[in-house]
Structure 1
Amino acid sequence: MPNTYTQIHIQAVFAVRYRQAAIQKEWQEELYRYITGIVQNHNHKVLQIGGMPDHVHLFFGMRPTQSLSDLMRDVKGESSEWINKSGFCKNYFSWQTGYGAFSYAKSQVPRVIRYIQKQEEHHRKKTFLEEYEDFLKAFEVEYDERFIFKPLE
């Protein structure tokens, strides 16, 4: 797109279905590389990726050539298909429906990168659900508690 200039920084947060701790350390980095490849193939730039066994934080510079919902559909769909074909999980792997997406100014980029790099440390003090609700409140996103990421009841 000639003469189109943007600076869009998005942190997407998405969880394993039923928030199961399915992402194992043995293949976590491979998963992050695979997701990075998906994002790069759509001409976006991954700034940081990380997470825990039950969720992923994906921070990237987004190009205006694709909608966020289309990118997230591709990231989640292609990565879950790859996980299942690779045989990393005994049971069928899938991501929970939906995601959170939050935008940041350029001045906030280093802080968000550090935050994602320190996920293990951060989650010693706070659960994923507490973290996710904090994001929604901080960004003043209206939400229905019935549809927040929940474990299987």
Structure 2
Amino acid sequence: MGQEYRRSATTVSLIHYHFVFCPRYRRKVFVNQVEVRFKELLEEICQENDWLIVAMEVMPDHVHLFLNCLPTDSPSDVMAKVKGATSRRLRQEFGHLAHLSSLWTRSYFVSTAENVSSETVKRFVEEQKKRG
């Protein structure tokens, strides 16, 4: 997949964010149906917000997400929406997560893909599961 430019009414942009974020206490919660449902929810949230998922890899205890966003979408807003919605829904739908007051830590890592190509970051994200 080549570079995908985003267009709004007044802007043409190419902004890629690479996020890494973890559940509280680095719990290994993203296994089996929880992983499947998390990916579905994430795709829904991204579609609702007009974010394009370039690459995503869900590990049992952390997530790599590489998104193409408009310049009006700040990384903190993206994480607030992703973490808020997924935490609430996963805790409602999976009884073993219901006792958690919050699924996610407050922190996250974010970088832009300006120093390396988006293809390089995409390959890195996709290779995470193969590393063991």
Say whether the 8 Å CA contact 1:49–1:56 is kept in structure 2.
Answer: yes
Partners of 1:106 and 1:41 lie apart in 2 by 29
TM-score (norm 1): 0.72
Correspondence for 2:9 among 2, 10, 13: 2
Q: Secondary structure at the match of 2:124?
A: helix
Partners of 1:70 and 1:99 lie apart in 2 by 12
Amino acid at match of 1:102: S
Correspondence for 1:28 among 23, 30, 35: 35
Cα RMSD of the aligned pairs, angstroms, is 2.0
Match of 1:99 in 2: 108
1:119 deviates by 1.5
Correspondence for 2:128 among 110, 119, 126: 119
Amino acid at match of 1:109: S
Match of 1:70 in 2: 77
1:107 deviates by 6.6
Q: Secondary structure at the match of 1:26?
A: helix
Per-residue CA distance 1:13-45 (angstroms, 9 max, x = gap): 100001111111233122112112112211111
TM-score (norm 2): 0.82
Range with bigger deviation, 71-80 or 35-44: 35-44
Gap change, CA 1:6 and 1:22, over 3 Å in 2: same
Unaligned runs of at least 5 residues, structure 1: 125-153
Aligned length: 123
**Where do 4+ consecutive residues of structure 1 move more than 2 Å?**
88-91
Percent identical pairs in the alignment equals: 27
